[in-house]
Amino acid sequence: MSWDAYVTNLTANGALEFAAIIGLDGNIWASNFGVAVLPSYQTEVPDEKNPDITAKVAYDEKAAFVHALTHKGETGNAAGVRINNQKYYTIQFDGEAKSWYLKKNKGGACIAWSNTAAVFASFSQTINAENGAPQNASDCNKRVLDMAKYLAESGY
């Protein structure tokens, strides 16, 4: 099975917004983002002292992702967690369980990892799955955790 099939499996029935299998080195193995690599770009970050003022900063999603996985969800930069150019906030990072739960405006994401790869998926409460119910954290978390467990058991 190709890595794309794993992403298709994660997003089946419209249950998830975006999904990816990402090597622990930050290289995308497969995704439905429409990009082959986690990008670098300029993004706006609020000033710490005055949140009404923003500044443009360089952001490297790949470097921040790799850093965050090895530093309890901390990206080491002012722009925070960004994946697919979407801003996330850490809800819970559990290094022992190899899971990371994230929140974004009207949605969220889950990341779980094995020895060689991370499984990422996001949901949006503004998008309905094929069953008519809004995408949700429960479906996202279950699919991501199950996929990461499967990959780990398969030697990845």
The residues of the chain scoring below 70 in pLDDT are 1
Distance of CA 71 to the CA centre of its chain: 16
Tell me how many degrees the CA angle 102-59-67 measures, rounded to the nearest 5. 60
Residue 9, pLDDT score: 95
Which structure tokens are listed for 25?
């080195």
Closest by alpha carbon to 140, among 11, 7, 6?
11
The secondary structure of the chain, three-state, reads CCHHHHHHHHCHHHCCCEEEEEECCCCEEEECCCCCCCCEEEEEEECCCCCCCEEEEEEEHHHHHHHHHHCCCCCCCCCCEEECCEEEEEEEEECCCCEEEEEECCEEEEEEECCCEEEEEEEECCCECCCCCECCHHHHHHHHHHHHHHHHHCCC
Residue 1, pLDDT score: 66
C-alpha dihedral over 8, 9, 11, 13, to 10 degrees? 110
Residue 129, pLDDT score: 95
Q: Whole-model pTM?
A: 0.92
3-35 burial: b if 16+ Cβ within 10 Å, else e? eeebbeebbeeebbbbbbbbeeebebbbbbbee
